[in-house]
């Protein structure tokens, strides 16, 4: 096998650089997959060129261990319909789902303690309207 061989993958393929536990969501499976989820699920909207997205992919599983049971990534360069549906313009964008329903958008500083406090606060509050 050639080391220069380009990997053939789509948005359902596992990202080899993503931390264990991050699953990629394709455009056609977004709503069905999340509706079937239980407990707290994190969705990270990202793009391959986004350095901040890569940092958040490392921080989220560490910061939310014991809080979130599933972590998903949506590559907005592939899932353009989902990005348009939610009006995603800034990356990274992070959504929290609880028991299959949108709960809140996470907006905070990219530090483990800040992430934990922000998520605890969001989950204690009533669900926000889906964007």
Between the alpha carbon of residue 117 and those of residues 18, 97, 111, the distances in Å are: 24, 17, 10
Instruction: Mention every residue, 6+ apart, whose C-beta is less than 8 A from residue 64.
Output: 40, 42, 115, 116, 119
Tokens (6 digits) for 126? 């009533």
The pLDDT tens digits of the residues spanning 67-83 come to 999 999 999 999 999 99
Angle at 85 (CA atoms; ends 109, 28), nearest 5 degrees: 105
Rounded to two decimals, what is the model's pTM?
A: 0.84
Residue 42 has pLDDT above 90, yes or no: yes
Residue 119: other Cβ atoms inside 10 A: 23
Residue 102 has pLDDT above 50, yes or no: yes
């Amino acid at each position: 096998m050639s080391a220069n061989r380009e990997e053939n993958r789509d948005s359902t393929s596992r990202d080899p650089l993503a931390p264990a536990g991050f699953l990629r969501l394709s455009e056609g499976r977004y709503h069905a997959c999340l509706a079937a989820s239980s407990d707290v699920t994190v969705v990270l909207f990202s793009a391959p060129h986004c350095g901040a997205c890569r940092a958040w992919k490392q921080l989220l599983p560490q910061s939310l261990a014991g809080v979130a049971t599933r972590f998903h990534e949506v590559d907005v360069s592939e899932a353009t319909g989902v990005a348009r549906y939610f009006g995603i313009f800034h990356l990274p964008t992070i959504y929290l789902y609880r028991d299959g329903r949108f709960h809140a958008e996470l907006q905070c500083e990219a530090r483990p303690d800040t992430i934990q406090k922000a998520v605890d606060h969001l989950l204690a509050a009533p669900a926000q309207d889906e964007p």
